[in-house]
Amino acid sequence: AQSVTQLGSHVSVSEGALVLLRCNYSSSVPPYLFWYVQYPNQGLQLLLKYTTGATLVKGINGFEAEFKKSETSFHLTKPSAHMSDAAEYFCAVSALTAAGNKLTFGGGTRVLVKP
């Protein structure tokens, strides 16, 4: 079975500072990994994904994430936080079951950006 752990339910960063959101996963098969962002009262938007190939993946809005198999991690970073980055971020792992493909989500990390 797959599982995802996001360390820190809340993260506070200053505008212009590094954003680092941690995600560790558990998977019995090679994982496909995702980061989504959610703004208040909206749906989730895909930030980036790792399927195969290059372990450093770049996404929208200046975010990137690195897949580290040895550490079972997929941490999300952005070099310089912007006020518009204030949102909740979810890490997810894909699982292919006999009944089809599912995503398992972490509990989310809410990011506050201080001016």
Partner 1 sequence: DGGITQSPKYLFRKEGQNVTLSCEQNLNHDAMYWYRQDPGQGLRLIYYSQIVNDFQKGDIAEGYSVSREKKESFPLTVTSAQKNPTAFYLCASRNGGSYEQYFGPGTRLTVT
- Binding residues (CB under 8 A) for partner 1: these are 9, 32, 34, 36, 41-46, 49, 51, 90, 94, 99-103, 105-108
Tell the smallest beta-carbon distance from residue 97 to partner 1 (Å): 9
Tell the smallest beta-carbon distance from residue 20 to partner 1 (Å): 19
| Cβ distance to partner 1 smaller for residue 17 or 110 | 110
Closest to 77 in 3D by CA, of 98, 92, 63: 63
Closest to 96 in 3D by CA, of 3, 4, 1, 23: 1
